[in-house]
Structure 1
């Protein structure tokens, strides 16, 4: 049966557009502040929410996300707080994923994390450092609780690797547009479109592109060839900048909503060049 994430991506495709996926870390600036920010993103046009689970030893997070995640950890954020965040965001109706490294899942307990995430209304996870070769316990746990396990591919991935990842992924394949860590850039990686085409050659799953997208123009550029546009660092930076300027929560949420609305307009204004599949 199609999942909530499947239905959301299919609805965007039916509208002739890519889906907008927005990321923020749980716990920044506070647990409740992050919940308000994520709900504001949904209200402004985000289709799918990625709730980041801050981790002390990230490998994919760039400096912007690391700064916010470090602040959340210093504030005492727990996995239970992340699950509470998921529950509050999923209540909006937007499919809500947890973006997390493997260690926090293992520490919480693989079966317990899947059960708790499903109970909170989560739609699935993105696990950037979990190799397909070691994913069997997680695939079993997510299948048992109806969660979509999303995996990441990169421009360096071989065709065999792309096929292997696609075979175990649920929802969509996360295509990193470039090699390196997260962060908005002046231009999207030039290999992104080619990577999407290579993934589509081995699977009918939707393909969402992340890393480097931070403006409406970039969102429109990616939406023209991908099924989903993932934005993280640019959204996190709005909250960091607001705090640095000493602005209150209302101003921070207004800024976040404005950027999200611009990104949503970019995604919706692009003519997606994606094949229609059954």
Structure 2
């Protein structure tokens, strides 16, 4: 059973991202357990790839560390099989079309279903080419997540109309990475999505502080944070788990306080 609906069922959601295998898969496994315990509603796992075109320098370096540690897609599936014995947190893969096709699209989606991966996000597959993956995703009950960006403009309604699970709203132009200021177009993007379809919208790219997370939660259903967490992993290496867990707890608290404030004002 796909668990994506529960991610947004209890108010605003916090969605942390880490690169699987950075610094190794043993640490990744422990990070999943501890981020779930700290309040993560959905965990994004990046499958390391040698040419991650949507990623900034921080996640590119994490991909390289993960590949150097011997991380493979098969090993990630084995790790997730272990995780599912005791942890039911919803999980999404962030990857690129090349690793999926090389692995075998149907085999990839079937394995996702078997280990309880609820969604797959593929930044380099535009809406017009989603047919390369979608039939196998649907067959194996895996949501193929649509992404929209400020440049999507007239395509937003078209993309939203066929979106499933949730819509990943890219907050600013360019690649992933921490930013001091978040683009102002995202609220308008979400408004257009909601006018087209009643579907959750989560904002990612550039968010790093509790203040930014709370601000984005005012007009979205969830907040996605990647580079800021990957920086913690890079800084502390194998000792990163408690530091990441504390960060997740802080970000989730900021989002929940925003939710409570919104309820009290209404």
Name the TM-score class by shorter chain: over 0.9
2:101 maps to 106
* Alignment match of 2:250 (pick from 240, 262, 278): 262
Correspondence for 2:128: 133
Aligned residues of 2:94 and 2:120 also touching (Cα < 8 A): yes
Q: Pick from 79, 90, 93: which aligns with 2:73?
A: 79
Cα offset, 1:193, TM superposition: 1.6
1:196 to 182, 186, 190: 190
Match of 1:169 among 163, 168, 188: 163
- Cα offset for 1:6? 1.1
Residue 236 of structure 2 is aligned with which of 231, 242, 247?
A: 242
**CA offset at residue 82 of structure 1?**
2.1
Q: CA separation in 1, counterparts of 2:82 and 2:212?
A: 29
Question: How many angstroms apart in 1 are the aligned matches of 2:191 and 2:81?
Answer: 35
TM-score (norm 2): 0.93
Distance in 1 between the 2:53 and 2:93 partners? Answer: 16
Deviation at 1:89, TM superposition (A): 4.4
Per-residue CA shift, 1:126-149, capped at 9, x if unaligned?
A: 111112222124111011111111
Unaligned runs of 5+ in 1: none
Residue deviations 1:22-62 (CA, integer Å, cap 9, x gap): 10010011011111112211111110000101111111111
Kindly indicate whether the alpha-carbon contact (under 8 Å) linking 1:148 and 1:169 is maintained by their aligned counterparts in 2: no
1:88 Cα deviation from its structure 2 partner: 4.1
1:152 to 139, 147, 151: 147
Runs of 4+ in 1 over 6 A off after TM superposition: none
Question: RMSD of the TM alignment (CA)?
Answer: 1.8
- TM-score after normalising by structure 1: 0.89
Distance in 2, matches of 1:29 and 1:150, equals: 27
Count of residues in Structure 1 that have an aligned counterpart in Structure 2: 261
Unaligned residue ranges in structure 2 (runs of 5+): none
Alpha-carbon distance, 1:253 to partner: 1.3
Partner-residue secondary structure (3-state), 2:55? coil
Q: Distance in 1 between matches of 2:222 and 2:81?
A: 23
Secondary structure of residue in 2 paired with 1:196:
helix
